[in-house]
Amino acid sequence: MQYFTKSKFYTVIILVSALPFLHVSCGNVQPVPEIKEQIRLKENNFTMIYLPAIEFPGGPAGVTALQEHRKEMMSVDQAFWFAQTNTTYSLWSEVYGWASVNGYTFNRQGRMGSEKSGEGMNDQHPVTVVDWPSVMVWCNALTEYYNQCNGTDFRPVYEYNGVVVRDAADRTAVDSVIMVKDADGFRLPMGAEWELAARYSTTNPDNKYQEHPPRSGIYWIPFIYVSGEIEGSIGEMGSEKGRIVTVEVTDTRQNSLGFYGFAGKEGKLWQWCFELLTSCESRDTYRLKRGGSRGPRCSRHDNWPKTKWTDTCAGYNQITFRVARTAAAE
């Protein structure tokens, strides 16, 4: 498999599921094996799941600014790897510590889970209180740190004027950052990639999901649901006041693809994505986040939060992220 030639340190697990993931190629439905890889650092390991290029139903936008990215059919044009869980505080801290003495600067140091006091939290809870610029440069740091740990040469994804972005406080660079074409380092997901991982289902409870392709047994959770939680449902993490308390990243239901954190307890955390809202006339920068809701009524998958450069709502205790990586062409 060509996409494993970069490093001899991969541990690869290939499983053919009894309910295989399907993709569409030349009008035919073909099974795709479940493929996972272990990413190993000095102190932390995490799993990534391979997802293919695919087209799937998107549905109407229903939310003003989202028309810019909402299409009747959503498309992931290139296969990619996606982290099985949200980023733990332990993983965040290991990379953050290395990066801070290797030329990186961050706006926020992150928090262990949702509680400021730390009560009930541990380092396997997701990192929260992270703003988009800090998360973006952290992905570049993860790439360079991974290379150092494993002797690989993955290329950092985010650059400005041909230079790797390492300073989250450099507003000019962060606002104009680009994704380097074919770079194979770690990055934030695109909205459609996140949606593919979150909405795919092999079950159709109460016939609420859309089957696509027809008669394939593959269903797509409506995007107005929060990762499988029916809109309006408080869910296991909610309360009458909408308070959300994090859990360990694997202490939640797995979805049909094996991902954690898209439903149930942890599924109501927001997760940063890459896209920039170009139709906004505000002087602030808006970036895409996807996921759940802090209120008792779950909001839609899509939301465009402000990327602030001060301690404001851009980095709060109900927003986290997980990393992606573009797969090598076969």
Instruction: Give the C-alpha separation, 199 to 57, whole Å.
Output: 10
As beta bridge partners, residue 39 has 46
Q: What φ, ψ does residue 182 adopt, rounded to 5°?
A: 70, 5
- Number of Cβ atoms within 10 Å of the Cβ of 207: 8
Higher pLDDT, 88 or 23: 88
Q: What is the pairing mode between strands 21-25 and 28-32?
A: antiparallel
**pLDDT interval class at 178 (50, 70, 90):** very high
The pLDDT tens digits of the residues spanning 81-132 come to 999 999 999 999 999 999 999 999 999 999 999 888 888 899 999 999 999 9
Which residues are CB-contacts of 172 (< 8 A; sequence separation ≥ 6)? 160
Return the ∠ at Cα 276 (arms to 275 and 280), rounded to 5°. Answer: 145
Whether cis (ω within 30° of 0) applies to the bond prior to 33 is no
What mean pLDDT comes out for the span 241-261? 81
What mean pLDDT comes out for the span 15-32? 41
| Closest by CA position to 144, among listed 185, 110, 86, 183 | 185
Does the pLDDT value for residue 26 go beyond 60? no
Does the pLDDT value for residue 159 go beyond 90? yes
Q: What φ, ψ does residue 31 adopt, rounded to 5°?
A: -70, 145
What's residue 263's pLDDT?
67
Domains of the chain: residue spans and CATH = 2-326 (3.90.1580.10)
**pLDDT interval class at 29 (50, 70, 90):** very low
Mean pLDDT value across the chain: 76
Helix (H) or strand (E) run with residue 198 in it? helix 191-199
Q: Which two tokens stand for residue 121?
A: 């939290």
Residue-wise DSSP of 77-136: -S-EEEESSPPBHHHHHHHHHHHHTTT-B-S---EESS-TT-TT--TTSBEES--HHHHH
The pLDDT tens digits of the residues spanning 193-222 come to 988 888 888 888 778 788 888 888 888 877
Q: Which two tokens stand for residue 96?
A: 């953050």
DSSP state of 167: B
Burial-class residue 201 by CB neighbours within 10 Å (0-12, 13-18, 19+). Answer: buried
Q: Which two tokens stand for residue 154?
A: 């993955």
- Number of Cβ atoms within 10 Å of the Cβ of 258: 15
What's residue 209's pLDDT?
81
Long-range CB pairs of 58-65 (<8 Å, 24+ gap) are 58/195, 58/223, 59/210, 59/222, 59/223, 59/224, 61/302, 62/224, 62/300, 63/300, 63/302, 65/277, 65/279, 65/280, 65/286, 65/304
The pLDDT tens digits of the residues spanning 289-308 come to 777 544 333 333 344 443 33
Q: Which two tokens stand for residue 30?
A: 């073909």
Higher pLDDT, 287 or 236: 287
Does the pLDDT value for residue 19 go beyond 50? no
- Contact between 112 and 123 (Cβ < 8 Å): yes
As beta bridge partners, residue 24 has 29
Helices of type H across 211-329: none
Amino acid present at 45 = N
Higher pLDDT, 146 or 194: 146
The pLDDT tens digits of the residues spanning 39-59 come to 999 999 999 999 999 888 875
**pLDDT interval class at 143 (50, 70, 90):** very high
Does the pLDDT value for residue 35 go beyond 60? yes
Higher pLDDT, 223 or 168: 168
What's residue 295's pLDDT?
37
Helix (H) or strand (E) run with residue 31 in it? strand 28-32
What's residue 281's pLDDT?
53
Does the pLDDT value for residue 144 go beyond 90? yes
